[in-house]
Structure 1
Amino acid sequence: MGHDIDFYWNASVAFHGHACPGLAMGCRMAVDAAALLGVDERCGDEEGVCIAETDACGLDAIQAVWGCTMGKGNLLLKPRGKQAFTFYRRGAPEGLRLYWCAPRSDERTREERITHYLRGPAEELYRATRVAVPAPDEARVSPSLVCTRCGERTAEPMVRLLEGQPYCLDCFADPSRILR
């Protein structure tokens, strides 16, 4: 990876559909993580992994820069509501967690924030921490079961049993009264 922020910014905007500060955050962290981890290309097909703690705009930049996707099993969502991403290569003993800690400045315009996020000093924008990461299993294709109520095939890990019959999450009457 050439770590050319302009190239990856343009790719991120094309993927996301518009330029915004959140996308700039993700792009900056993805490009810097690659440089800090010594990644020379888009990490192969499934080798590079990202654990995202948000589902906001920056996540699209991660996909554009690192090539991670949920479908390949190398983009994992750990919803915490934080602008934080952990990057690593499968088989590596540690990765890098980047947490965006830059204060949101109301004094800067949207365009000025984007420029600052892409080119400002890293120490003002995010905190990087080396972390041990358990590599996930290779992407797995689960068998499907037919939901008793709606009749739609559903991946086995997402099925719940009620009186021995499989139900998808939308049809399952959860007796715990916890909304998911």
Structure 2
Amino acid sequence: MSCQIDPSTIEATIAFHGHSCPGLAIGIRAAEIALRELPGVGQADLVCITETDMCGVDAIQFLTGCTFGKGNLIHRDYGKMAFSFYDRKDGKGLRLLFNQQARGALDQEMAALMGKALPTEAEQQRLQALRAEMQNRMMTLPAAELFAIQPLDQAPPRPARVLQSLACEDCGESTMESRTRRFAGRTLCIPCFARIEQKI
């Protein structure tokens, strides 16, 4: 079944992101599936773990209300187009892994054009047409063709906590306690630790 989110909400999502693209469409569909599979979850109880930092994460923020600031959007930099969603209240969760085959035959031509250092005007126009076609494909394919959908049985991540801040003993800047490092008996922020400890 194609995307069931109303067009005005999709337009608002595009405005939030700044442009329309296939990656954003993937995020729209992931959010749609999560909201359908975890109905009635309040914004404070819905959690998303994203394994990518691509365009689709903006759609997930806009449509689900999961944000870094609230502590219910967690980025794990795995480079995978995968999104896990949890309901903290009942512990139910699912992981959506994008199916690369969903891109179809358009993918190779798009990749070739995107890889050109100096594309001609005709190539740029063709690339724009392919991107629009790919975006339409992402919005109309059935969810089962877009994602491998796996139920999750592990517990959802704990809610965000306010932690003590400590002063870095090198630069003096206030740093969340859990992000400090100890070195030679001193408490350091991550950048100072990395500069002093040469193994990193």
What is the CA distance between 1:8 and its match in structure 2?
A: 3.6
Aligned positions of 1:133-148 closer than 5 A:
133-148=154-169
Match of 2:84 in 1: 86
Aligned positions of 1:5-20 closer than 5 A:
5-20=6-21
Listed one character per residue, the Cα deviations across residues 32-61 of structure 1 (whole Å, up to 9, x for unaligned) are 221122x24xx4231111010111111111
Query: Any idea what SS the aligned residue of 1:171 has?
Result: helix
Number of residue pairs matched by the alignment = 173
Match of 2:26 in 1: 25
TM-score, scaled relative to structure 2: 0.79
Q: Matched residues in 2 for 1:5 and 1:166: separation?
A: 51
Aligned positions of 1:35-114 closer than 5 A:
35-37=36-38, 39-40=39-40, 43-103=41-101, 104=103, 105-106=106-107, 109-114=130-135
Contact persistence 2:31–2:60 (CA under 8 A) = yes
Which one-letter code corresponds to 1:57 in the other structure? C
Query: Any idea what SS the aligned residue of 2:63 has?
Result: helix
What is the CA distance between 1:80 and its match in structure 2?
A: 1.2
What is the CA distance between 1:176 and its match in structure 2?
A: 7.0
What is the CA distance between 1:138 and its match in structure 2?
A: 2.0
Query: Any idea what SS the aligned residue of 1:34 has?
Result: helix
Among 109, 129, 140, the residue aligned to 1:119: 140
Q: Matched residues in 1 for 2:147 and 2:156: separation?
A: 24
Contact persistence 1:28–1:118 (CA under 8 A) = yes
Query: Any idea what SS the aligned residue of 2:193 has?
Result: coil
Contact persistence 1:22–1:57 (CA under 8 A) = yes
Identity %: 44
> With CA pairs under 8 Å and 6+ residues apart, which has the higher RCO, 1 or 2?
2
CA RMSD of aligned residues (A): 1.9
Q: Matched residues in 2 for 1:60 and 1:95: separation?
A: 20
Contact persistence 2:50–2:75 (CA under 8 A) = yes
Q: Matched residues in 1 for 2:174 and 2:67: separation?
A: 23
Q: Matched residues in 1 for 2:44 and 2:198: separation?
A: 37
Query: Any idea what SS the aligned residue of 2:149 has?
Result: strand
Q: Matched residues in 2 for 1:123 and 1:137: separation?
A: 29
Match of 1:155 in 2: 176
Contact persistence 2:27–2:58 (CA under 8 A) = yes
Q: Matched residues in 2 for 1:127 and 1:176: separation?
A: 42
Contact persistence 1:25–1:117 (CA under 8 A) = yes
Match of 1:128 in 2: 149
Gap runs ≥5 in structure 1:
none
Which one-letter code corresponds to 1:147 in the other structure? C
Contact persistence 1:91–1:135 (CA under 8 A) = no
